[in-house]
Amino acid sequence: MKTTATTLASVASTATVMAMAIAMVSALPATAVAASPVTFTKDVAPILQRSCVTCHRPGEIAPMSLMTYEDARPWARAISLRAAKREMPPWHVDKTIGIQTFKNDPSLSDEEIATIGKWVEGGAPKGNPADMPPPRTFPDARTWQIGTPDIVIKYPKYTVPAAGPDLFGELITEIPIQEDRYIKAIQTRSATAKSHRVVHHALSYAIDPASEGEGMAADGGQFLVEYASGKNAEVYPEGSGVFLKAGQRARLGYHFHPIGEEAVAEVEVGVVLYPKGFVPKFTRWSRQLAQPTTPLDIPAGTVARSDGYTVLHKPARIIAFQPHMHNLGKRQCLELIYPTSGTRMSTEIINCANFNNYWHLTYNYADDAQPLVPAGTILHNITWHDNSPANRRALDPKNWVGDGQRTIDEMGFFWIGWIELTEEEYKQQLAERKTLQEKAQAAER
Ligand code: HEC
């Protein structure tokens, strides 16, 4: 067992080294332009196009567009400030710890942040219009990102009043399948632009009709897919699927947020299925894991730590990490405690991420960085809640806070996406990973 753990430790550190190498390569162009004045069209627009305009364009969730010079110029100082504090784009992984290669990482390099800073210091000039990259184009926000779904689960419409408290509850509907199937891809969307603005958070589960009306627990049923404001898509790996049992119904646990005008929340789940009778090689799981071992206890005016643990009884390939807390959420770490018997304990921090309840971000590991862990590995969740006046989102730091469903209550678990492996598959995948890393190391020399 000792050798296994040591191998894994070197797996993660090599991933870090590779991430650094990539960052250094992408830094080169910024250094090259340092001599000439930094302009919007030549230097800044490409950065905004890659990392900002997904949200900062008309009709999307950000408050202003950053598509053109005219759009962005009034915000120059705010852009530089938010970028320097790494608040924008929303991506809160601690860059000094653990794995750094993810799918769809929009975060800026230190050089890009410096470029924006220099642009602002230099008076935020426009530059030569001919340098402007063509505007990035996007599919309609309401088109399916997963291709054409085979079935669409439509939850009942819900009218959210203009004002009032946040709304929590459940909606239930049919899943239109006749036999057991496997899900290949799945996506939650708001059917209208207005709905897009009121749906804060929505979790879909498949439930047995028999269990309906029994005061279902928050984690009742099999989890299918999550949707949250600002949440990026979760990418399913090749050859894996999620089991969907015939006769089950879909349950939506919702959190709607009034926006100052009446709006109808219309939530739909599109599902691409594997062909009838087809069983994918791997079942992909996604669950709320490592709940704190004791009820949350967050005294007034303090930062409180809590810990939770989940044992993985089979070897696994970890695909995604998503912290989950509410307003007091400050930071969460995922640590692996490797199975050791009679040897020194071996642990490893895989990632730490700061938390802001406005954003529910899923960190999808790049294929070659997905942690491969042996049977018996313990996922350790270390969570910090900040109930002090230093946290602007702490609504009343003079009051104690504990567990609960409302935004003003707290939670402190993480979602983990993973695939179970057999011992054989685990050994094979570990060997493939080692070969890849040896090649990468040889290429660096
Ligand atoms: C995933 C969507 C998303 C991305 C990507 C994103 N933003 Fe934002 N941005 C928002 C939202 C939503 C807000 C308003 C809420 C807030 O302030 O956090 C915001 C707020 C801001 C603000 C503050 C506006 C104000 O009213 O003071 C600035 C400045 C900003 N973003 C700049 C950027 C820059 C620069 C980038 C890219 C480097 C970026 N954002 C990427 C969604 C996004």
* 215 pLDDT tier (thresholds 50, 70, 90): very low
Pick the closest to residue 82 from 108, 46, 104 (CA basis): 108
> pLDDT, tens digit, for every residue of 334-375?
999 999 877 788 999 999 999 988 777 889 899 999 999 999
Pick the closest to residue 430 from 355, 374, 359 (CA basis): 374
Residue 46, ligand 1, Cβ within 6 A: no
Q: Which residue has the higher pLDDT, 417 or 330?
A: 330
Asked if the model's pLDDT at residue 296 lies above 90, the reply is yes
Residue 117, ligand 1, Cβ within 6 A: no
Pocket test for ligand 1, best of 43, 55, 79, 113 (most atoms within 8 A of CB): 55
Element (H, E) at 155: none
Q: Which two tokens stand for residue 26?
A: 């992408």
> pLDDT, tens digit, for every residue of 129-188?
999 999 998 766 577 888 889 999 999 999 999 999 878 888 999 999 999 999 988 888
3-state helix, strand, coil in the chain (%, to 5): 25, 30, 45
Pocket test for ligand 1, best of 64, 85, 88, 362 (most atoms within 8 A of CB): 88
* 202 pLDDT tier (thresholds 50, 70, 90): confident
Quote the CA–CA distance of 226 and 203 in Å, as a whole number.
Answer: 5
Residue 230, ligand 1, Cβ within 6 A: yes
Residue 274, ligand 1, Cβ within 6 A: no
Phi first, then psi, for residue 334 (nearest 5°) are: -110, 115
Q: Nearest C-alpha to atom 12 of ligand 1 is from which residue?
A: 62
Q: Average pLDDT in the 262-284 region?
A: 91
Q: Average pLDDT in the 33-46 region?
A: 86
Which residues lie below 8 Å from residue 443, measured CB to CB, with a gap of 6+? none
Q: Average pLDDT in the 326-340 region?
A: 95
Other C-beta atoms within 10 Å of 150: how many? 17
Q: Nearest C-alpha to atom 32 of ligand 1 is from which residue?
A: 79
Q: Which atom of ligand 1 is nearest to the CA of 116?
A: 35
Q: How many CA atoms lie within 13 A of 376 on its CB side?
A: 9
Q: What is the DSSP string of 79-147?
A: HHHHHHTT-SS---B-TTSS---BTT--PPPHHHHHHHHHHHHTT-----GGGPPPPP----TTS-TTS
pTM value is 0.80
Q: Which atom of ligand 1 is nearest to the CA of 232?
A: 1
Distance 272 CA to ligand 1 centre (A): 32
> pLDDT, tens digit, for every residue of 84-107?
999 999 999 999 999 999 987 999
Residue 83, ligand 1, Cβ within 6 A: yes
* 253 pLDDT tier (thresholds 50, 70, 90): confident
Q: Is 204 helix (H, G, I), strand (E, B) or coil?
A: strand
> Could you tell me if residue 147 is left (phi over 0), alpha (psi between -120 and 50 degrees) or otherwise beta?
left
Q: Nearest C-alpha to atom 24 of ligand 1 is from which residue?
A: 63
The DSSP code for 368 is G
Q: Nearest C-alpha to atom 18 of ligand 1 is from which residue?
A: 358
Q: Is 442 helix (H, G, I), strand (E, B) or coil?
A: helix
Pick the closest to residue 40 from 127, 130, 135 (CA basis): 127
Q: Nearest C-alpha to atom 27 of ligand 1 is from which residue?
A: 78
Tell me what pLDDT residue 360 has. 74
Q: Which atom of ligand 1 is nearest to the CA of 78?
A: 29
Asked if the model's pLDDT at residue 7 lies above 80, the reply is no
Tell me what pLDDT residue 4 has. 40
Q: Nearest C-alpha to atom 35 of ligand 1 is from which residue?
A: 79
Q: Average pLDDT in the 321-335 region?
A: 94
Residue 90, ligand 1, Cβ within 6 A: yes
Q: Average pLDDT in the 203-210 region?
A: 81
Pocket test for ligand 1, best of 49, 54, 56, 354 (most atoms within 8 A of CB): 56
Residue 54, ligand 1, Cβ within 6 A: yes
Residue 52, ligand 1, Cβ within 6 A: yes
Q: How many CA atoms lie within 13 A of 343 on its CB side?
A: 12
Asked if the model's pLDDT at residue 64 lies above 80, the reply is yes
Q: Which two tokens stand for residue 287?
A: 């669950």
The CA-CA-CA angle for residues 141, 364, 109, to 5°, reads 85
Q: Nearest C-alpha to atom 11 of ligand 1 is from which residue?
A: 62
Q: Which residue has the higher pLDDT, 43 or 204?
A: 43
Tell me what pLDDT residue 217 has. 40
Distance 78 CA to ligand 1 centre (A): 9
What domains lie within the chain, and their CATH numbers?
40-131 (no CATH), 151-279 (2.60.120.310), 286-428 (2.60.120.230)
Q: Which atom of ligand 1 is nearest to the CA of 75?
A: 29
Largest CA distance in the chain: 70
Q: CB of 329 within 8 A of CB of 69?
A: no
Q: Nearest C-alpha to atom 33 of ligand 1 is from which residue?
A: 88
Q: Nearest C-alpha to atom 36 of ligand 1 is from which residue?
A: 52
Tell me what pLDDT residue 147 has. 84
Quote the CA–CA distance of 232 and 61 in Å, as a whole number.
Answer: 13
Asked if the model's pLDDT at residue 16 lies above 70, the reply is no
- Mean pLDDT taken over the chain: 86
Q: Nearest C-alpha to atom 13 of ligand 1 is from which residue?
A: 62
Asked if the model's pLDDT at residue 415 lies above 50, the reply is yes
Helix axes 76-84, 110-121, angle to 10 degrees: 150
Q: Nearest C-alpha to atom 42 of ligand 1 is from which residue?
A: 62
